[in-house]
A and B are shown apart, each in its own frame.
Chain A
């Protein structure tokens, strides 16, 4: 076990709704990264938070947003859900010095989101 926990494990929403996914990082870690894994594909980087600030973003629209809290837990928010948002959302935590340090990311089991 990595010590990274995500909730909920499964979620069903309808198109146009909003969703919030949560991630509790491993003790001592200060960085959280979020990834989207569509069925049959590798995970795609959404964004990363380092010490409560966004620290890099992938090719995702602004309706994907996030937060990191003082205890380094994190939320991923998705507004105006689309059918293509159906995927497994993975959170990873790491201990980072900032600036792209070569540190290992530890993953949670993910939240499976289905958009109908």
Chain B
């Protein structure tokens, strides 16, 4: 069975400090992995994707994620948080051969001055 577990429902950081949002996945087939961000009253925006190329993936707005097959993890990081990063973040798996996205429950990121 395919699933995604986001290990923290809420993360709070100070502006200018690093961000770490944790994600573990379970997939029977070679998956594609994504991080999406959802700002209030806006659609889901793709931050980055992993599709079996380089294991360190760089995305938009300074975010990056590392695919670790041995740990079945795909954690999202950013060296320095900005106030505009406050939003809901979703880790997503698309199992190979399937056409649906499987979302984690989300992590709400708060950024304090």
User: Which A residues fall within an 8 A CB radius of B?
Assistant: 2, 4, 31, 33, 35, 40-45, 48, 50, 55-56, 58, 90, 92, 96, 99-100, 102, 104-110
Interface size on B, residues (CB 8 A): 25
Please tell me which one of the listed residues A35, A56, A107 contacts residue B98 in the complex, with CB atoms under 8 A apart.
A56
In the bound assembly, the distance between CA atoms of A42 and B106 in angstroms comes to 6
* Residues of B with C-beta under 8 A to A48: 99-100
* Residues of B with C-beta under 8 A to A56: 98-100
Known A42-B90, A99-B97: A109·B103 in contact at CB below 8 Å: no
In the bound assembly, the distance between CA atoms of A40 and B107 in angstroms comes to 10
| Cross-chain contact B43 with A42 (CB below 8 angstroms) | no
* Residues of A with C-beta under 8 A to B102: 45
User: Which B residues fall within an 8 A CB radius of A?
Assistant: 4, 32, 34, 36, 41-46, 49, 51, 90, 94, 96-106
Closest residue of A by beta carbon distance from B88: A42
In the bound assembly, the distance between CA atoms of A57 and B4 in angstroms comes to 19
The 4 residue pairs across chains A and B that have the minimum distance between CB atoms: A42-B103, A45-B100, A107-B44, A107-B43
Closest residue of A by beta carbon distance from B51: A102
In the bound assembly, the distance between CA atoms of A42 and B96 in angstroms comes to 20
Min CB distance, B54 to chain A, in Å? 15
Identify 13 residue pairs between A and B in the complex whose beta-carbon atoms are under 8 Å apart, listed by A's number: A33-B99, A33-B100, A41-B106, A48-B99, A48-B100, A55-B99, A92-B101, A100-B94, A100-B96, A100-B98, A104-B49, A106-B46, A107-B44
Closest residue of A by beta carbon distance from B6: A42
* Residues of B with C-beta under 8 A to A104: 34, 46, 49
| Cross-chain contact A109 with B42 (CB below 8 angstroms) | yes
In the bound assembly, the distance between CA atoms of A102 and B4 in angstroms comes to 18
Min CB distance, A102 to chain B, in Å? 5
